[in-house]
Amino acid sequence: MNVDLTSWLLATTLLTGVLWVPYILDRMLKLGIPRALGNPQPKDWDEQSPWARRAHRAHLNAVEGLVVFAPLVLLASRVTGDGAALAASAAATYFFARLVHAAVYLLGIPGLRTISFVVGFGAQLTLASVIWSGRV
């Protein structure tokens, strides 16, 4: 597998994997550790900070995006081998778009959130185009 593609897939996976931390910390502060570690109840969300609820939604959105991104990266690496400059650029763009998306979602900036989401989607389309065309 292409090292650049592997690196961006790893970075994106790790980013997605840590996006739960802020809202869980808020949950512990707002609900207390025993309640935060228990089974979530619908009323618990009402007690969380608005930014933490947005952080939770950003995490869910990142997981949904990773389900599409990861197979595209794996397929692009298989199709292009080691010369996947366009695919690597698209993967890097996706990572940074998701990083910005998570930050602006947490901060509650809807316009930038939408733009960063669309940029990430464009990166996914680019990866799909690389796979479809079989080009480097």
Q: Does the predicted TM-score (pTM) go above 0.75?
A: yes
Q: What is the pLDDT of residues 2-17, one digit of tens each?
A: 678 889 999 999 999 9
Looking at residue 92, its amino acid is A
Position 1 pLDDT exceeds 60: no
The whole-number average pLDDT for the span 125-133 is 92
Q: Which domains does the chain have, with CATH numbers?
A: 3-19+49-133 (1.20.120.550)
Are 2 and 80 within 8 A, CB to CB? yes
Cβ neighbours for 49, distance < 8 A, ≥ 6 positions apart: 26, 30
